[in-house]
A and B are shown apart, each in its own frame.
Chain A
């Protein structure tokens, strides 16, 4: 496998459920990101990890809990979500923190619907 792989591609959950999104990159990158993409809104950076350490939490509600066990894997644990959390969640990676090079590699996203 190559690139950035996200699973599941689609997820429907109730507000009381607990689920997780998974991201895996096979590019040997050191930084990984979670973005939220909602209709008619700019891309929202949620979390940044660099060498497994969280370097940014962009005021994300605690019902979203990230986990980065190693530089190749990133999870987003979801619990007691709200309908407004329905969105496309995009994972990305980069060789180093993206500010200098700007080259992010994105997965295809996980489309989340909260009922």
Chain B
């Protein structure tokens, strides 16, 4: 079945450091890929998405590219801020399975000043 494997955390970075969170997926169909972010005490918010191979999703300085050949969707940001501290979830969905989301286990990011 479909699944997502996400880089284990927690990750602690200094402000302005470069961020990479690895994500790989397994899917029988042709899924869409997402990154969601969860701030403390809140629900999940969509950060970015990509719907086909080689698509790049981007938002708020974060980027991720849909790599079909390596089944990956790694999240990157060139310069993190304290306000980026949160838990990040990689996810996939496929219309064939009714658009249910399969999430990774989440990566906790703490950015220190």
Q: Are A and B physically bound partners?
A: no
The residues of B with any CB-CB pair to A shorter than 8 Å are none
The residues of A with any CB-CB pair to B shorter than 8 Å are none
